[in-house]
Chain A
Amino acid sequence: MMRYRVAVHILPRDGILDPQGHAVADALHTLGFQGVQDVRIGRHVVVDTDADTAEAAREAVRAMCGRLLANPVIEDFEIASVTRS
């Protein structure tokens, strides 16, 4: 068993209004960042887990996302990184 650190990005799905992202986009426009087209705000979850391989750790966190960490009705997720910890 090795210990892995798996990071996952969870974002509101396309088509789901993200009022927090809109508010931040408006603020960025006010600051002069006129090129900003859209901002979406989600969460970044870091899981330290023991697993036999990096792939097993990735699959475990994928399963965690399916069960708990993300809600497929409103959110998409992607595994951002898997590193030895």
Chain B
Amino acid sequence: MRFGIVTFPGSNCDTDAYHAVVDVLGEEAVMLWHKDHDLRGVDVVILPGGFAHGDYLRAGAIARFSPIMREVSAHADRGGRVLAICNGFQIACEAGLLPGALVRNAGQSYICDQIRVRVENTDTAFTNAYTRGAVLRMPIAHGEGRFVADPAVLDAIESEGRVVFRYVDAAGVASPAGNPNGSMNGIAGIINNAGNVLGLMPHPERVVETVLGPADGLPLFESLVAQVAA
């Protein structure tokens, strides 16, 4: 299957995503430039981490108007899969592909750390290779990762099982101590209503090889391959 990885001016995790897909997963990937008008027939679009357009105005606010995003939205409307990581998650929210917004961390500072997330929903194209309730170690690296949404939106995504990853503490409990950035309900990753767009702040593409520790991000990519091949 074919992944398309979008590079915006300021993306810096695009080659990490390429490495995860091509070198580790053994799948095909094409790099897409933000000014492209064609997704070149990819099955899955990855919006990678970074600081697209310098995060000017708001993180993701300018990138959402890049020409490629018109194609990404059309792809998503057709049911095509979109994996939006970190800055990609911010772009997806700004573009309306996902609800809510990501704002300055509650503690004000940029956080680069290993955190824990719990897999809340394994009935998705992105998480079917995980065990429900599994606690994963993943890195985060963001200044604007605090997920916020209107109460009605928050209720909806919670009740519909669309919170896919939640920050937890060392005991696997969703607690203030386990929530690095003050996200509402400890939300680290959500999926859209149709189940084909996933956004998360942690970086699964950085933890796909055991030489670097637990490869807790790999099942996410394996889930996608299993799903599209099926």
Using a CB–CB cutoff of 8 Å, the interface residues on chain A facing chain B are 12, 16-17, 19-20, 23, 68-69, 71, 73-74
Q: Which of under 10, 10 to 19, 20 to 34, or 35 or more describes the interface residues of B? A: 20 to 34
B105 to A19, Cβ gap below 8 A? yes
Q: How far is the CB of A16 from chain B (nearest CB, A)?
A: 6
Q: Does B170 make an interface contact (CB < 8 A)?
A: no
Chain A residue at minimum C-beta to C-beta distance from B184: A17
Set of chain B residues within 8 Å of A74, measured between Cβ atoms: 101, 103, 148
Question: Using a CB-CB cutoff of 8 Å, which residues 57-107 of chain B contact chain A?
Answer: 57-58, 61-62, 65, 93-94, 100-101, 103-107
Q: Does B150 make an interface contact (CB < 8 A)?
A: yes
Q: How far is the CB of B192 from chain A (nearest CB, A)?
A: 15
Given A16-B103, A17-B182: A71 touches B61 (CB 8 Å cut-off): yes
- Cα–Cα, bound, A84→B57 (Å): 25
Q: Known contacts A68-B61, A71-B94; can you find 20 more A-B pairs with CB under 8 A?
A: A12-B103, A16-B103, A17-B106, A17-B146, A17-B148, A17-B182, A19-B105, A20-B104, A20-B108, A23-B108, A68-B62, A68-B65, A71-B58, A71-B101, A73-B100, A73-B101, A73-B148, A73-B149, A73-B150, A74-B103
Q: Is the interface of B mostly helix, strand, loop or mixed?
A: loop
Set of chain A residues within 8 Å of B150, measured between Cβ atoms: 73
Interchain residue pairs with CB less than 8 A apart (17): A17-B106, A17-B146, A17-B148, A19-B105, A19-B106, A19-B107, A19-B108, A20-B104, A20-B108, A23-B108, A68-B62, A71-B58, A71-B61, A73-B93, A73-B100, A73-B101, A73-B150
Chain B residue at minimum C-beta to C-beta distance from A18: B104
Q: How far is the CB of B60 from chain A (nearest CB, A)?
A: 9
Q: How far is the CB of B95 from chain A (nearest CB, A)?
A: 11
Chain A residue at minimum C-beta to C-beta distance from B150: A73
Given A71-B94, A74-B101: A16 touches B148 (CB 8 Å cut-off): yes
Set of chain B residues within 8 Å of A71, measured between Cβ atoms: 58, 61, 94, 101
A69 to B103, Cβ gap below 8 A? no
Our pick among B57, B93, B104 for the contact of A69 (Cβ within 8 Å) is B57
Q: How far is the CB of A13 from chain B (nearest CB, A)?
A: 9
